Amino acid sequence: MIIRNAIGPVETKKMDTQSLRDHFLVEDVMQSGKISMTYTHYDRLIIGGAVPDGKPLPLETDDALKSDYFLERREIGIILVSGEGTVEVDGEKYPLIAKECLYIGKGVKNVSFAKTGSDPALFYFTSAPAHAPYPTRKMSFDEAEPQHLGSVEKANERTIYKYIHPDGIKSCQLVMGFTELKTGSIWNTMPPHLHDRRMEAYFYFNLPKEDRVWHFMGEKDETRHMVVANNQAIISPPWSIHSGAGTSNYAFVWAMAGENQSFADMDQVPLTTVK
């Protein structure tokens, strides 16, 4: 498990390109035949990817967690972003196809990932500390709550699909879903916003190999950017804006952890104040 410390806005102002990437970008989320995990001290969220090959991949604890098993004090949200696969939860198998979600609560001892189709199965997951157990629940793409935003004129026409939230899959603190941009649209989360009560992580996917997303972060009057490729993730601090523009349309999984679960808890940032 890779550990990322929390960095404040004062330190971030002084960083060059490589320092920004080292602290806020997770490049190798999907590694064939492995489970990768990055632990951030922003609300202690774990970002991970599982790419099972010929045999199932068990989700094991790490010495950094000081726990007997991974979900001893945690919950986890999983979205299969590509392929077909199954997640086995204490002996019960949950089949998933692309864009389906599975939530697993605190106290589950055995979790493993396996692929079932010929194409690679790419499982993306986020995990947050949990104070109480909630039941395992799967949600299909058709069951997700959609929210249509943006316009063709602003090049930000997109649909937000909500999975783990107070009116969907119940959790302790994790909020999770994904956003899909329409063809011809490139901007996400524009105009930008802040939510100082919780951090957020972005995982960009369905981006053509040769294309990139320019992800913007930082304070509203002191912005920075990182160039992001397909299947890479961004750690977004509570004090930072989070927005992006791509050379093609794309999708991204968003996940939040922190003080509350209200999706509407956002402090809007007028574009006239962004620098």
> For position 215, which CATH number holds?
2.60.120.10
The number of distinct structural domains making up the chain is 1
H or E element, residue 6: none
pLDDT exceeds cutoff 90 at 90: yes
Q: Token pair of 89, please?
A: 């939860």
- pTM, 2 dp: 0.96
Count each helix (H run) and each strand (E run) in the chain, helices first: 2, 24
The Cα–Cα gap between 11 and 137 comes to 40
Residue 216 corresponds to which amino acid? F
The Cα–Cα gap between 259 and 248 comes to 34
Q: Return the percentage of the chain with pLDDT > 90, whole number.
A: 94
- 35-40 and 2-4 strand pairing: parallel
pLDDT in tens, 136-170: 999 999 999 899 999 999 999 999 999 999 999 99
pLDDT in tens, 56-78: 999 999 999 999 999 999 999 99
Residues 103/137, Cβ–Cβ less than 8 Å: yes
Task: Kindly give, in sequence order, each residue whose CB lies less than 8 Å from that of residue 136, ignoring residues fewer than 6 positions away.
Answer: 89, 92, 94, 102, 103, 104, 105, 108
pLDDT exceeds cutoff 90 at 102: yes
CA-only gyration radius of the chain, Å: 18
Confidence (pLDDT) at 263: 80
How many CA within 13 A on the CB side of residue 178? 26
Q: What is the mean pLDDT of residues 176-188?
A: 97
pLDDT in tens, 16-41: 999 999 999 999 999 999 999 999 99
Confidence (pLDDT) at 262: 82
Which is nearest to 87 in space by CA: 136, 145, 38? 136
The parent domain of residue 231 ranges over: 2-131+140-273
pLDDT exceeds cutoff 90 at 54: no
Q: Token pair of 8, please?
A: 């404040």
pLDDT band at 119 (very low <50, low <70, confident <90, very high): very high
